[in-house]
């Protein structure tokens, strides 16, 4: 991008709670920045769906994630927080994860305790979590591996769906006590669950909440979550679900148009959408480079 990336820590100081939509590709990251958000999150589910058409159930590894995150981070100057799953192996793998993520511009890394061989896409559906010693070892290794102290390691626990809220809170408190500046208790289902987590962990620099649309989870405003004590709010499925819905509907209509069974009017606001695309792909910048430096053919005599 040619500009210095602000740290995630600085972004947390500029907005409370820090609201981060999930980017699934470079274009969505550029649009998030253009909309005025101060940071972007990269989650496994959205990235894998967009890049590989795969579910987030432990099918990919570190190299796949780094490749997708690199594209996203390169497209924006915003600080990036990224899903590191379970570290993709043991403590050695966790160290490699931190080094690889920092190298592509990630400033916040989530490492979770859900057991990889039983991994589910939703934390409230988690089938199993590793023991406390295992996840704590990975977090300590990740903290020690940081090349920059501005990189925030987030301990995520999916224990709520398996062991209950009290067990999840115990893990989260232990994560904070061992030095993790970020904590995420995933899979909360009720407003009172969020309130309890906010009270118990208030004061953690990065206390995350995730808002999922649909289902039986509450849809709480960021300001309300901020009052509860949360300092960062992500929207994991908001963009990718809407993108998938629009493409699915448009393609079904186009197929019917191709079959001669339905009309398919031209895009009414084409000029506006074209302008958005040109701005996000920085067309004017690249035309400027072309004009300034491209060789011009000398007319022959």
pLDDT profile of the chain (301 residues), mean per 10: 82 97 98 98 96 94 97 98 96 98 98 89 81 98 97 97 96 98 96 98 96 88 98 96 97 97 94 96 96 79 60
Count the residues in the chain. 301
Contact 152, 182 (CB under 8 A): yes
In whole angstroms, give the CA distance from residue 156 to residue 85: 9
pLDDT in tens, 54-86: 999 999 999 999 999 999 999 999 999 999 999
What would the pLDDT profile of 227-253 be if each residue is shown by its tens digit?
Answer: 999 999 999 999 999 999 999 999 999
This prediction's pTM: 0.93
DSSP assigned state of 179: T
Angstrom distance (rounded) from CA 262 to CA 260: 6
E strand map for the chain: 18-21, 40-42, 80-83, 106-112, 152-157, 182-185, 206-210, 232-235
Q: Which long-range contacts (CB under 8 A, 24 or more apart) does 92-96 make?
A: 92/141, 93/62, 94/138, 94/141, 94/142, 94/145, 95/141, 95/142, 95/144, 95/145, 96/62
Distance, in Å, from the CA atom of 177 to the CA atom of 182, rounded to the nearest integer, reads 11
**Tokens 């004061």 — which residue?**
203
Return the residue matching tokens 């709520």.
160
- Domain 8-243 indexed as CATH 3.30.70.260: no
């Amino acid at each position: 991008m040619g500009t210095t990336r602000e740290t995630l820590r600085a972004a947390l100081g500029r907005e409370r709670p820090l609201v981060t939509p999930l980017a699934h590709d470079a274009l969505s990251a550029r649009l998030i920045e253009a909309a005025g958000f101060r940071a972007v999150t990269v989650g496994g589910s959205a990235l894998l769906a967009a890049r590989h058409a795969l579910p987030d159930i432990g099918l990919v590894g570190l190299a796949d994630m780094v490749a997708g995150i690199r594209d996203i981070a390169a497209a924006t100057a915003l600080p990036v927080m990224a899903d590191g799953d379970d570290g993709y192996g043991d403590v050695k793998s966790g160290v490699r994860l931190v080094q690889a993520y920092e190298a592509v511009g990630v400033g916040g890394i989530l490492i979770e305790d859900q057991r990889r061989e039983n991994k589910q896409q939703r934390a409230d559906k988690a089938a199993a979590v590793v023991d406390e010693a295992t996840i704590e070892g990975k977090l300590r290794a990740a903290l020690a591996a940081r090349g920059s102290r501005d990189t925030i390691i987030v301990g995520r626990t999916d224990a709520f769906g398996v062991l209950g809220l009290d067990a999840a809170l115990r893990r989260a408190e232990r994560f904070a006590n061992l030095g993790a500046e970020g904590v995420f208790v995933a899979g909360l289902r009720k407003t009172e669950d969020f309130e309890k987590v906010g009270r118990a962990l208030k004061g953690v620099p990065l206390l995350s909440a995730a808002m999922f649309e649909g289902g039986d989870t509450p849809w709480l405003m960021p300001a309300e979550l901020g009052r509860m004590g949360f300092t960062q709010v992500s929207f994991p499925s908001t963009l990718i679900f809407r993108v998938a819905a629009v493409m699915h509907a448009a393609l079904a209509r186009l197929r019917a148009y191709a079959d001669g069974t339905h009309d398919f009017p031209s895009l009414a606001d084409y000029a506006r959408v074209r302008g958005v695309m040109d701005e996000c792909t920085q067309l004017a910048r690249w035309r400027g480079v072309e004009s300034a430096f491209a060789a011009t053919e000398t007319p022959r005599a």
